[in-house]
Amino acid sequence: MTLERFIQLWTHRYKKYSHIFTAQLLGYKAILHFRSIKVNLRKGQKLVAIVRTEHFGDIIASEPISRYVRSLHPDAHIVWFVKPAYQSLVAFNPSVDEVFTEFCVTQRQVIFEAKIFDDVIELQFRNNNHCPVCDVYYENPVAQSRSINVDNYFNFGNLLEVFAQSGNLIPAKTIFPADDQPRLYLQDVHREKVDALQLHKRYVVLHCRSNFAPKDWPTERWEQLVDWLAENYDYDIIEIGQESNLHVTTKAYRNLCGPLSILETAEVIRRASFFIGLDSGPSHLGNATGTFGVILMGSLNDFPHYNPYSGKYGRQENAIFVRKHGVPCRELSFEFVQDKVEQVLSRGFEIA
């Protein structure tokens, strides 16, 4: 073994085991916290955990579950486990008493093995329950018993239904039994940030890049769409997301990728006349904020024709899905997408 390889090996081991030590230490600290919470609960009052730590579209899709759990346990102290990056999505939810920002799966494993919680509602399955540093998986026995996994989950319904089944809230392959419209709880601070952007003119929001390449539509076709929209409609065109890869010169276009938080982005979408985007997190923001959506979708892995949304997007009451059965999103022609967008804009679906 070379010296360089020896250093790499022990650097990796140091990072891994120091991470595990930190996770376990934080887990024991959290146990003390939750024990203090439980001691102060009234007799018969439950301590309930809801686990949906990622990704932000999935957390938004899961929001109706918080209200459903509250209806089942009106007096419970409900704790939502989430990754720090998505804490704001749950922080203002009136159905949740406490948001626990999780360090990693190992920390959560330590906490739940202490059996403090009266009920653990696990909305995830194996692929979301993995820490790559610890190399630890936390299994969901309900999802395992129902054979729900990353390869087949859309065979069990939309995301809300899949997560509710994984959490043992509803029987296998059944519809969600309560209000299934996702909600967001935007605050004045988010409205004020968007006020400062001075988005006075009517505008259309675009989201052009997902975090999973098979869901994407080619960049050059997005650029064609921007130019066509600018030439034919009196709307500003605002792109949101983490990073833009568009190269357009029209004055109607504005790039807001990057500087906004998730909830600030939601407020931008809420004020838009239309949302045009991919099957990705921002489309769930569109569903939750009530802005009419034009969603470019294609076949995905083993799912030739799937629907991730509940509520008005899921029923296509406030959205249309631009897709062809069994055809990946990247293969949708510009003309096909253009025609669907034109139909929507000419019929005037925008929300006043």
Identify the CATH number of the domain in which residue 56 sits: 3.40.50
Q: Are residues 155 and 109 in the same domain?
A: yes
> Is 92 inside any structural domain?
yes
- Answer yes or no: is 112 within a domain: yes
Count the neighbouring beta carbons within 10 Å of the beta carbon of residue 312: 19
Phi first, then psi: give them for residue 267, nearest 5 degrees: -65, -35
Residues 245 and 328 in one domain: yes
- 52, two tokens: 């949906």
What tokens were used for 132? Answer: 């790559």
Whole-number pLDDT of residue 352: 37
Tell me how crowded residue 199 is: count the other CB atoms within 10 A of its CB.
18
Q: Cβ-count burial of 114 within 10 angstroms (0-12 exposed, 13-18 middle, 19+ buried)?
A: middle
**Distance, CA of 97 to chain centre:** 20
Does one domain contain both 151 and 202? no
Q: pLDDT digit of tens for each residue in the chain (352 aa)?
A: 786 776 676 666 778 999 999 999 999 999 999 999 999 999 999 999 999 999 999 999 999 999 999 999 999 999 999 999 999 999 999 999 999 999 999 999 999 999 999 999 999 998 889 999 998 899 999 999 999 999 999 999 999 999 999 999 999 999 999 999 999 999 999 999 999 999 988 999 999 999 899 999 999 999 999 999 999 999 999 999 999 999 999 999 999 999 999 999 999 999 999 999 999 999 999 999 999 999 999 999 889 999 999 999 999 999 999 999 999 999 999 999 999 999 999 886 654 3
Distance from C-alpha of 343 to C-alpha of 347, rounded to nearest angstrom? 6
Q: In what order do the strands lie in the sheet with 319-322?
A: 253-255, 236-239, 203-207, 274-278, 293-296, 319-322
DSSP type of residue 103: S
Whether residue 181 lies inside any domain: the answer is no
pLDDT score for 128 = 85
- Clarify whether residues 15 and 152 are in a common domain: yes
CA dihedral of 12, 16, 21, 22, whole degrees rounded to 10: 100
Say yes or no: 44 and 162 in one domain.
yes
183 within domain boundaries:
no
- What is the domain extent for residue 15? 3-166
The last residue of a domain, from among 166, 198, 231: 166
- The rounded distance, in Å, linking the Cα atoms of 254 and 272 is 13
pLDDT of residue 10: 60
Instruction: State the first-to-last Cα distance of the chain, in angstroms, to the nearest integer.
Output: 68
**How many CB atoms are located within 10 Å of the residue 348 CB?**
8
Do residues 206 and 328 both lie within one domain?
A: yes
d(CA 103, CA 136): 13
> Are 233 and 293 in the same domain?
yes
Residues 236 and 342 in one domain: yes
Determine the pLDDT at residue 11.
65
The answer to whether residue 329 is domain-embedded is: yes
Do residues 247 and 313 share a domain?
Answer: yes
Total count of domains within the chain: 2
